[in-house]
A and B are shown apart, each in its own frame.
Chain A
Amino acid sequence: MDNMNGTVAEGTVTNGAGTLAVAEKLTAKDFASSCDVRWCPGCGDYSILAQVQRTLPDIDRKLEDYCFVSGIGCSSRFPYYMSGYGIHSIHGRALAIATGVKMANPKLSLWIATGDGDGLSIGGNHFMHTMRRNLDCVVLLFNNRIYGLTKGQYSPTSEAGKKTKSTPFGSIDHPVNPVLLALGAETTFVARTIDREPKHQQEIYKRAYDHHGSSFVEIYQNCNIFNDGAFEHLTDKKVKADNVVAIEHGKPLVFGANSDKGIILDGFKPRVVSLTDGTHTVDDLVVYDETNSDLAYIVARMSDDPTFPTAIGVFLKIERATYEDLAHGQMETVTAKIGPGDLEKMLTEGDTWVVG
């Protein structure tokens, strides 16, 4: 049976906000459902699942407060492997479904698992609208730059020229950058991490949860069957230091095997500079500011250019009212102004007359 196991210990005291007041916390195992995980051996999804399960105990919410919503794809098998509430819905529609869940019960901790196909192809429209509405949720976008579940077609993030089952002579599509899309859609929290960086993932997932608003996390994920090695240049120990810059609010953009390179801003253009050839020091470098959406755009653009390192970390975190807060807030304001509704009155509104 794949219903949950791992209930809260007897005698637990809870407060109204749904946190555990007793020392006995949930563990990573408590978040694993009894369902056998069926991803291919070697799939990057295993790591994502494990890191989410390791992060949630620190978040300290009750199991019944979690709702995992997904669409269709390998990414979207995620809810079956988590022991909270969950909906495995239809292709591209997880965010729309999640909107209804959260509006109806704003107290739930809402997590969405989607992919580059589910979230950006068929789901692209709902992605744009849900992000601009700032629904309080965490969106985990498993980007493996391929359609895995349907066995190897190209996706909106596949590189131009990519040879796949549906593009045997090379893809003629120009791909999209999910982080840039998220920024363009007015997302209030935008981050990127990698399936092979467990500690980094946990930090990012925790920050994503803590943010009150839409938290978009792009996760570079390796599909070892249909697109193996897509992110090798970012994960191979021999080269990753020169190809990845880990951004952090308040810290300069330093990267390289010996922290010997950095990024400066030349007007609006980023430039890679050496910190060891005497031309530049750490003080010349861009200090990351996660409240600056213009900077976020510039730094995110670097991932499309092979002469730059790819940034991971939190690109943007700004505050804005959330959709469900606004929806419920408006109901409260209207009710305070005109009084609670009376159905009997509503039925007889307008001109009425009595017969007999």
Chain B
Amino acid sequence: MEKTTEVLDHVVIRFAGDSGDGMQLTGGQFTQTAAILGNDLATLPDYPAEIRAPAGTLYGVSAFQLHFSSFDVHTPGDAPDVLVAMNPAALQTQLPQLKRGGIIIANSDAFDAKNLGLAHYDINPLEDGSLAGYRLFSLPITKGTLKSVEGLGLSTKDAGRCKNFYTLGLLYWLYNRSLDATMRWIEEKFGTKPAFAEANRRALQAGFNLGDTLELFTHRYEVRPAQLPPGTYRNIVGNHATALGMLAATQRTGLQGYLGSYPITPASDILHEVSRYKNFGFLTFQAEDEIAAICASIGASYAGALSFTTTSGPGVALKTEAIGLAVMTELPLVIINVQRGGPSTGLPTKTEQADLLQAVYGRNGECPVPVVAASTPGDCFNAVLEAARIATRYMTPVMLLTDGYLANGSEPWRVPSVADLPDLTVKFATDPATYQSYDRDERLARPWAVPGTPGLEHRIGGLEHSNISGGINYSPENHEAMVKLRAAKVAGIANDIPDLEVFGEDSGDVLIIGWGSTYGAIRAAVERKRAQGYNVSHAHFRHLNPMPKNTGDVLKRFKRVIVAEMNLGQLIKILRSEFLVDAVGWNKVQGLPFTGQDIEERIESVLGHNN
């Protein structure tokens, strides 16, 4: 029968199911396909902390939201247009977010008495008319899957696992997507297990065919490719971009790469990825604990490596004393904190940005550390290069802040050519005639003299010492001078970083400030509001310490300064204290990013609904 195709600007799909159902995989595949077909997109995986919660429970629901579009996309979307609910628990937990009139694709086979009970349903919602306000497609996905892989000799359990590909196939039909990329992926992933490969292929195709044949589906949709700047693209996840950034930094500095790390959610993937770079000569060390990880990195830095350590908030807490040692001994080091919900163990798989004050201030004594924050998954790559640049130019540890949302979220990324990357070549000290361990250049950086170099033998340590010669020195005047010198060195980085940019009018009524991953939501909201005639601007910090030199000027040019953060107010404290600006905070601490809608509503509440 005739199926109509409607062209849409953008679609938001939320895949949800039991954590054993492969929702992350399904969402990831759909994302990859959307990217290759040229859509701009952003994703938000949302999974529980437990490895495998009991099947069918509400807390075992794992979800993946994808926003894909033919125009510039900044966020994973506000309310989803489509909810794929693989079991009752998924429907129960995710339905409240679905748009009124939105599409529900539910696996009716999973809505049995047991699962309904676990999900706290007394009656089957697929049958009691309660979903009349939505466009419900209640489909026997499990049965359809099992039928499609008949004859391949799979156990019922293994055959059942193919249902995520079956569902994916159906969605590909619904959104007019090619099966090619996923077919290629199945081939690669299951190459050594041909039965599984064939089963998944058949399930994918069967799901696709279902859309075509079933009269239930009268409508298909199409989301055309976006107008992205020309270049070669790949879809990239923040942690992967971080790892590539580390690799690129070692090549651009010409140094031996070294990563001392310890597994911690949500940063572990960086360690996994960099551990693959053996043929680039990148040394990795999974240490016995977070402290050994950073200490080994500091030792490697002393020996002339470009050193990194990767972790999350609790790991930074453990590393604190060692960070102080790196500051005192003025050794380059990049510390990457993939922030997560805190405090303490907090919410390991949920995002937050509440470690800023820890990054800027959190050590004993006057212990300044430059801080850089990434804004999008692809930006993690550039942020690492920037952190490495500052670390090696100024002989200092640098804290790079990303978060769980960036780490696991993805977007299309225009791949840079290596030649376009900044030249970060490092020159070690070599001349015994002029060398002194704490001598200073014009940036107040000391020379990097590496063990094994004749004539430059010297000792460094955590005790206070003299400038230039580096000998231990406890005198009162010397200590004050050194404390001020170390502070001046970091403050001087402000001469070496770009100005704070303002999106929108240069001056006006309302300026919304953000840092880190709130970029997408704020920019999306401000763009939409400006299109409606609102006078609102957006400035986003990449450098949190020191801040760009024009920060004070920018703040003065607006009547109202608002700081949107995923914490109770941290950047705002710094801005208020440094610039005496009476800023106001918009705060969300729910383990979830702001949505564009969140910000839009807040803009309306400040500026009125009609501006």
Q: Is the CB of A348 within 8 A of B279?
A: no
Q: Is the CB of A352 within 8 A of B279?
A: no
B95 within 8 A of A: no
Interface size range on B against A? 35 or more
| Interface residue from B229, B292, B452 paired with A356 (Cβ < 8 Å) | B229
Interface string of B274-290 (1 = CB under 8 A from A): 00011111010101110
Minimum CB–CB distance for A288 against chain B, Å: 33
| Interface residue from A107, A340, A344 paired with B417 (Cβ < 8 Å) | A344
Interface string of A70-88 (1 = CB under 8 A from B): 0000000001101111111
Question: What is the bound-complex CA distance between A284 and B480, given in angstroms?
Answer: 69
Closest partner residue, chain B, to A64 (CB atom)? B454
Question: Which chain A residues lie closer than 8 Å to B295 at the CB level?
Answer: 89-90, 93, 96-97, 99-100, 126
Question: Which chain B residues lie closer than 8 Å to A13 at the CB level?
Answer: none
Question: Which chain B residues lie closer than 8 Å to A172 at the CB level?
Answer: none
B103 within 8 A of A: no
B228 within 8 A of A: yes
Contacts A99-B296, A101-B303 hold; do A89 and B228 have CB atoms under 8 A apart? no
Minimum CB–CB distance for A26 against chain B, Å: 12
Q: Which of A162-170, A257-265, A267-275, A330-338 touches B?
A: A330-338
Question: Which chain A residues lie closer than 8 Å to B303 at the CB level?
Answer: 67, 100-102, 104-105, 108
Question: Which chain A residues lie closer than 8 Å to B281 at the CB level?
Answer: 331, 335, 341
A35 within 8 A of B: yes
Question: What is the bound-complex CA distance between A331 and B281, given in angstroms?
Answer: 6
- Which chain B residues in 446-470 approach chain A with CB under 8 Å? 450-463, 469-470
Closest partner residue, chain A, to B331 (CB atom)? A87
Closest partner residue, chain B, to A35 (CB atom)? B471
Minimum CB–CB distance for B17 against chain A, Å: 25
Q: Which of A3-11, A49-57, A199-207, A245-253 touches B?
A: A3-11
Question: What is the bound-complex CA distance between A349 and B233, given in angstroms?
Answer: 10
B304 within 8 A of A: yes
B140 within 8 A of A: no
- Which chain B residues in 307-343 approach chain A with CB under 8 Å? 307, 321-322, 324-325, 329
Minimum CB–CB distance for A74 against chain B, Å: 14
Question: Which chain B residues lie closer than 8 Å to A33 at the CB level?
Answer: 459
Q: Is the CB of A83 within 8 A of B457?
A: yes
Q: Is the CB of A100 within 8 A of B436?
A: no
Contacts A96-B295, A103-B296 hold; do A354 and B287 have CB atoms under 8 A apart? no
Closest partner residue, chain B, to A34 (CB atom)? B471
A306 within 8 A of B: no
A254 within 8 A of B: no
Q: Is the CB of A8 within 8 A of B454?
A: yes
Minimum CB–CB distance for B329 against chain A, Å: 7
Q: Is the CB of B457 within 8 A of A1?
A: no
Contacts A99-B299, A101-B299 hold; do A347 and B291 have CB atoms under 8 A apart? no
Q: Is the CB of A4 within 8 A of B415?
A: no
Q: Is the CB of A80 within 8 A of B472?
A: yes
Most chain-B CB neighbours within 10 Å: which of A335, A340, A353? A353
| Interface residue from B235, B251, B304, B462 paired with A105 (Cβ < 8 Å) | B304
Minimum CB–CB distance for A298 against chain B, Å: 29
- Which chain B residues in 557-595 approach chain A with CB under 8 Å? none
Minimum CB–CB distance for B416 against chain A, Å: 7
Contacts A64-B456, A341-B280 hold; do A89 and B38 have CB atoms under 8 A apart? no
Closest partner residue, chain A, to B321 (CB atom)? A90
Question: What is the bound-complex CA distance between A251 and B303, given in angstroms?
Answer: 42
Q: Is the CB of B288 within 8 A of A125?
A: yes
Q: Is the CB of B457 within 8 A of A84?
A: yes
Q: Is the CB of A108 within 8 A of B298?
A: no
Question: What is the bound-complex CA distance between A287 and B329, given in angstroms?
Answer: 50
Question: What is the bound-complex CA distance between A341 and B257, given in angstroms?
Answer: 13
Question: Which chain B residues lie closer than 8 Å to A338 at the CB level?
Answer: 279
Question: What is the bound-complex CA distance between A346 and B415, given in angstroms?
Answer: 10
Question: What is the bound-complex CA distance between A54 and B456, given in angstroms?
Answer: 22
Q: Is the CB of B231 within 8 A of A351?
A: no
Q: Is the CB of A331 within 8 A of B278?
A: yes
Closest partner residue, chain B, to A106 (CB atom)? B303
Q: Is the CB of B233 within 8 A of A96?
A: no
Contact residues of A: prevailing secondary structure:
mixed
Question: Which chain A residues lie closer than 8 Å to B233 at the CB level?
Answer: 352-355
Q: Is the CB of A97 within 8 A of B298?
A: yes
Minimum CB–CB distance for A77 against chain B, Å: 9
Q: Is the CB of B325 within 8 A of A1?
A: no
Q: Is the CB of B455 within 8 A of A104?
A: no
Q: Is the CB of A105 within 8 A of B283?
A: no
Question: Which chain B residues lie closer than 8 Å to A344 at the CB level?
Answer: 417-418
Interface string of B226-260 (1 = CB under 8 A from A): 00111111110000000010011001000010101
| Interface residue from B302, B432, B472 paired with A87 (Cβ < 8 Å) | B302
Closest partner residue, chain A, to B453 (CB atom)? A64
Contacts A64-B454, A100-B300, A356-B230 hold; do A89 and B325 have CB atoms under 8 A apart? yes
Closest partner residue, chain A, to B230 (CB atom)? A356
Q: Is the CB of A100 within 8 A of B460?
A: no
A69 within 8 A of B: yes
Q: Is the CB of A90 within 8 A of B325?
A: yes
Q: Is the CB of A350 within 8 A of B234?
A: yes
Q: Is the CB of B288 within 8 A of A93?
A: no
B264 within 8 A of A: no
Closest partner residue, chain A, to B295 (CB atom)? A96
Closest partner residue, chain A, to B460 (CB atom)? A87
Contacts A347-B244, A347-B415 hold; do A64 and B452 have CB atoms under 8 A apart? yes
Closest partner residue, chain B, to A68 (CB atom)? B459
B36 within 8 A of A: yes
Minimum CB–CB distance for A353 against chain B, Å: 5
Q: Is the CB of B296 within 8 A of A353?
A: no
Contacts A7-B432, A350-B234 hold; do A98 and B299 have CB atoms under 8 A apart? yes
A343 within 8 A of B: yes
Question: Which chain A residues lie closer than 8 Å to B43 at the CB level?
Answer: none
| Interface residue from A66, A90, A353 paired with B462 (Cβ < 8 Å) | A90
A62 within 8 A of B: yes
Closest partner residue, chain B, to A344 (CB atom)? B418
Question: What is the bound-complex CA distance between A1 and B437, given in angstroms?
Answer: 11
Question: Which chain A residues lie closer than 8 Å to B436 at the CB level?
Answer: 3
| Interface residue from A88, A98, A101, A105 paired with B461 (Cβ < 8 Å) | A88
Q: Is the CB of A108 within 8 A of B452?
A: yes
Q: Is the CB of A352 within 8 A of B232?
A: yes
B305 within 8 A of A: yes
Question: Which chain B residues lie closer than 8 Å to A346 at the CB level?
Answer: 244, 247, 277, 280
A59 within 8 A of B: no
- Which chain A residues in 105-124 approach chain B with CB under 8 Å? 105, 107-108
Q: Is the CB of A1 within 8 A of B279?
A: no
Closest partner residue, chain A, to B432 (CB atom)? A7
B181 within 8 A of A: yes
Closest partner residue, chain B, to A85 (CB atom)? B451
Q: Is the CB of B455 within 8 A of A85?
A: no
B301 within 8 A of A: yes
Question: Which chain B residues lie closer than 8 Å to A101 at the CB level?
Answer: 299-300, 302-303, 451
| Interface residue from A79, A93, A349 paired with B459 (Cβ < 8 Å) | A79
A179 within 8 A of B: no
| Interface residue from A64, A87, A88, A352 paired with B299 (Cβ < 8 Å) | A87
Can you pick out 26 interface pairs between chain A and chain B where the beta carbons lie within 8 Å of each other? A3-B436, A3-B470, A69-B299, A80-B472, A90-B462, A93-B295, A93-B322, A96-B291, A96-B292, A99-B285, A100-B298, A100-B300, A104-B299, A104-B300, A108-B451, A129-B288, A339-B279, A347-B244, A347-B248, A347-B418, A348-B232, A352-B232, A353-B36, A355-B229, A355-B230, A356-B230
Q: Which 8 A-B pairs have the closest CB atoms?
A: A100-B299, A88-B461, A356-B230, A96-B295, A341-B280, A100-B296, A100-B300, A86-B459
For the A-B complex with A340-B280, A352-B234 known, give 16 more contacts whose Cβ atoms are closer than 8 Å: A2-B459, A2-B469, A63-B454, A69-B299, A79-B459, A85-B458, A86-B461, A90-B295, A97-B298, A99-B295, A103-B283, A129-B287, A340-B279, A351-B36, A351-B184, A356-B231
A contact set with B: CB distance below 8 Å: 1-4, 7-8, 33, 35, 62-69, 79-80, 82-90, 93, 96-105, 107-108, 125-126, 128-129, 327, 330-331, 334-335, 338-341, 343-344, 346-356
